[in-house]
Amino acid sequence: MTKNKVAVLGAGSWGTALAFLALQSGNEVSLWARDARHLERLQNEGENEKYLPGISLEKIGLCPDLAPILTDCDWIVCAVPCAGIPELANEVKSLRKPNSLLVSGTKGLHSLLGLRGAQMWHTFGDVPPTQYVALSGPNLAREIVGGVPTSTVVASQCPQSATQAQKLFSSPLFRVYTNVDLVGVELGGALKNVVAIAAGVCDGLGFGDNAKAALMTRHWREMTRLAMAFGAKETTLFGLSGIGDLFATCASPHSRNHSLGVKLGAGETLSQAQCEVMQVVEGVHTARAALKLAGEKGVELPVTSELVALFDGKSVRDVIHSLMNRQGRSELED
């Protein structure tokens, strides 16, 4: 097995899990975060006690500076929130080896720009499409590091890059599939977070399984319509980055998007819920970005629209009334 040098950017729960996966596959791994004090705590504690406790970081290098870990690394793995990618990509641009590959584990859309990870890394970081890979799927960080078997998908416009990423992360407990539908994989991974918040609202309201199942199904149709309008394949949205990730994120107490939705359903404001979740909830920003993209393509997103209205102060009672009293239509109508 070839030993690669891997630089993981972002030391939250997901970044720590990706560093763990890369290490398990026999690679030399470094972990970076912009907050030097956070990295110092990781060094002193020997684990990421704040975001993903119980996993030893003894064999992972911790570095507050980008230059030392990027100048000779083979792989850059990004696990920072969407909002931080433009600035980070611009910094990475002058430090990245010309032949290094970049894997994005970020699942979201930039709230102001409406861009996917691939678009941001190309625009701000000059990363060629052939050297970019997106990783997505039902991959809850706590379960991955706990040794629970799961699968993921890596997508790139370049099949060879996807295959290389497949080898980088594959292990007996982490099965990796490849895909060339980059748009579908990135939009599936981003938009399912919006569905997860809505599902959490149902749970917070105590609505039970009927309501939650109906909402998840109709909201999945929304995300599929929008993704296909931008060139995604419907089969991709039926796969790991679509329905697979949706099932996991909508049901798990480890999902920050679902957790935020539960708090909203219980009557908390968006700011209160975000403070309690403590980590970035990508679904909030993605919901707003999705509405902008839908406007560009003339795609109707009723559940997403009402969810954003809830973020902005509309009562849960009025949101439910608006959704349940829409004009009747065929289930097959898009």
Among residues 192, 292, 297, 314, which one is catalytic? 192
**What is d(CA 85, CA 91) in angstroms, rounded to the nearest whole number?**
10
What is the torsion angle, in degrees rounded to the nearest 10, for the CA atoms of residue 233, residue 237, residue 241 and residue 245? Answer: 180
**What is d(CA 109, CA 118) in angstroms, rounded to the nearest whole number?**
10
Distance of CA 107 to the CA centre of its chain: 2
**What is d(CA 289, CA 114) in angstroms, rounded to the nearest whole number?**
5
Beta-bridge partner residues of 179:
155
> Cβ contacts of residue 311 below 8 Å, gap of 6+?
270, 284, 287, 288
176 sits in the region (left: phi over 0; alpha: psi -120 to 50; else beta) called beta
H or E stretch at 300: none
DSSP 218-268: HHHHHHHHHHHHTT--HHHHTSIIIIIHHHHHHH-TT-HHHHHHHHHHTT-
Residue 314 a catalytic site member: no
What is the torsion angle, in degrees rounded to the nearest 10, for the CA atoms of residue 179, residue 181, residue 185 and residue 191? Answer: -160
Q: Which amino acid is at 204?
A: G
**What is d(CA 228, CA 234) in angstroms, rounded to the nearest whole number?**
7
Instruction: Tell me the CA distances in angstroms from 320 to 201, 316, 325, one per residue in order.
Output: 11, 6, 8
User: The tokens 């679902």 sit on which residue?
Assistant: 258
Angle at CA of residue 231, ends 230 and 236, nearest 5°: 115
Looking at the chain, the number of H-run helices and the number of E-run strands are: 16, 8
Catalytic residues: 192
